[in-house]
Amino acid sequence: MSQVTVYDVAAQAEVSISTVSRVLNTPEKVKAPTRARVLAVIDELGFVPKAEAVARSRRKHGRIGVLAPFLTYPSFVQRLRGVTTALSTSPYELIIYYVDSMARLESHIASLSITRRLDGLILMGLSLTDAAVERLRSAEIEAVPIEFPQAGFSSVEIDNAAGGRLAAEHFLALGHRRIGFIGDADPPDFAIRNSDRRLAGFRAAVAEAGLALPDEAIGLAPHGLETARQQGHRLLSLPEPPTAIFAQSDTQAMGVLRAARERGLTVPRDVAIIGFDDVEIAEYVGLTTVHQPLEESGRVAVELLLARLADPARPVQRVQLPLTLVRRDTA
């Protein structure tokens, strides 16, 4: 059987060759229905690059890829540091692929599955579709997701709902009865919805204590310092403002801290604040927070990946890292 070419893909998908190229390299420039049609044809025909590229793909490349969104978030920076530290003594080179849209994520998965330029892949905070998982498996690319379990792959996880519970239980132990929450609104469709899980655990613990978490005491906005500051002002201007606020990330907690100080409030006397992640700056500002082992999660992901690369028959492992509440000045 003759090798499938880019011309075959273009003809069956009824698009130009340049459109096929854009789907694989600049997917955001292709309309979603067209992109989906081209990827479906690629899968159906089993399209691979020309023969010499296939030959290269069958050799070990000595490269590990990281697919990651939100590269400017402190939590992702620390997690990536764990990955780079773990790989520093290995023979593998690290390649980072930035994800800023579902189209970009799909394109990276499709392109890597076709060219097989990597020995393995680490996925940070990303949710894969069934089609993306199948592409990785068909291409025999080993992957390790961080934060999101995926059947057939080893993974590194935390219990986000349990983290929300830790924050609520600390507030309750301190005697707070009017409690608020700051989290993410409308996260990207390619990202893990950690904020929702942290809110669910937080809300459950508050309810079990016989207290309410009214809708007006929940502030949701796009992730960031300024949006969290604005939501903090809104919660603190309520007729009966919360005396304690849990923010689902340290970044958002610091936005709330700024709002409290702008209103002349003393933390934690007037309002207590808890964050989530325990990024490096949290200690410097005295932020009470739910600590997750960010660097360790990157290191463990590398260890799991290298173990499977060394022995593909090794059983997949789901490693759940512990969460702890770190008490500092704000609660």
Residue 192 CB partners (closer than 8 Å, separation 6+) = 125, 126, 127, 147, 148
Same domain, 117 and 130: yes
* 83-86: long-range contacts, CB 8 A cutoff, minimum separation 24: 83/122, 83/298, 83/299, 83/301, 83/302, 84/298, 85/295, 85/298, 85/299, 86/298, 86/299, 86/302, 86/303
Same domain, 245 and 256: yes
Same domain, 124 and 83: yes
Residue 225, in any domain of the structure: yes
Q: With contact defined as beta carbons under 8 Å apart, do 259 and 236 qualify?
A: yes
pLDDT band at 1 (very low <50, low <70, confident <90, very high): very low
- Residue by residue, DSSP assigns 91-114 as SPEEEEEE--SHHHHHHHHHHHHH
Residue 326, in any domain of the structure: no
235 vs 328: CA distance, rounded Å:
23
pLDDT mean across residues, the chain? 88
Same domain, 276 and 235: yes
Residue 30, in any domain of the structure: yes
262 vs 272: CA distance, rounded Å:
15
At 205-255, the pLDDT tens digits run 999 999 999 999 999 999 999 999 999 999 999 999 999 999 999 999 999
231 vs 181: CA distance, rounded Å:
10
208 vs 204: CA distance, rounded Å:
6
pLDDT band at 61 (very low <50, low <70, confident <90, very high): low
Q: With contact defined as beta carbons under 8 Å apart, do 285 and 257 qualify?
A: yes
Q: How many CA atoms lie within 13 A of 49 on its CB side?
A: 18
Residue 164, in any domain of the structure: yes
What is the reported pLDDT for 52? 39
- Does pLDDT of 172 surpass 90? yes
Same domain, 193 and 153: no
At 258-308, the pLDDT tens digits run 999 999 999 999 999 999 999 999 999 999 999 999 999 999 999 999 999
Same domain, 182 and 280: yes
- Does pLDDT of 20 surpass 90? no
The stretch 157-168 carries a mean pLDDT of 97
Distances in Å between the alpha carbon of 62 and those of 54, 65, 192?
Answer: 16, 10, 29
What is the reported pLDDT for 156? 95
- Does pLDDT of 59 surpass 50? no
Strands (E), the chain: 63-68, 93-98, 120-124, 142-146, 155-157, 179-184, 218-221, 244-247, 272-277, 288-291, 318-320, 324-326
Same domain, 91 and 214: no
Same domain, 195 and 126: no
Same domain, 276 and 213: yes
Same domain, 196 and 152: no
Which domain does 248 fall in, by range? 160-291
Q: Which two tokens stand for residue 46?
A: 């089993």
What is the reported pLDDT for 2? 57
Residue 328, in any domain of the structure: no
- The domain tally of the chain equals 3
What is the reported pLDDT for 53? 47
281 C-beta neighbours (distance < 10 Å), count: 12
User: Residue 11 maps to which CATH number?
Assistant: 1.10.260.40
What is the reported pLDDT for 202? 98
Crossing angle between the packed helical segments 74-87 and 294-310, to the nearest 10 degrees: 40
Best CA proximity match to 46, nearest among 121, 135, 127, 117 = 135
- Residue by residue, DSSP assigns 124-169 as ESB---HHHHHHHHHTT-EEEEESS--TTS-EEE--HHHHHHHHHH
What is the reported pLDDT for 55? 42
Helix and strand element counts for the chain (H, E): 13, 12
The stretch 33-61 carries a mean pLDDT of 66
What is the reported pLDDT for 51? 42
Residue 314, in any domain of the structure: yes
Same domain, 12 and 113: no
Report the run of H or E that residue 304 belongs to, with start and end: helix 294-310
325 vs 249: CA distance, rounded Å:
13
Same domain, 164 and 268: yes
User: Residue 278 maps to which CATH number?
Assistant: 3.40.50.2300
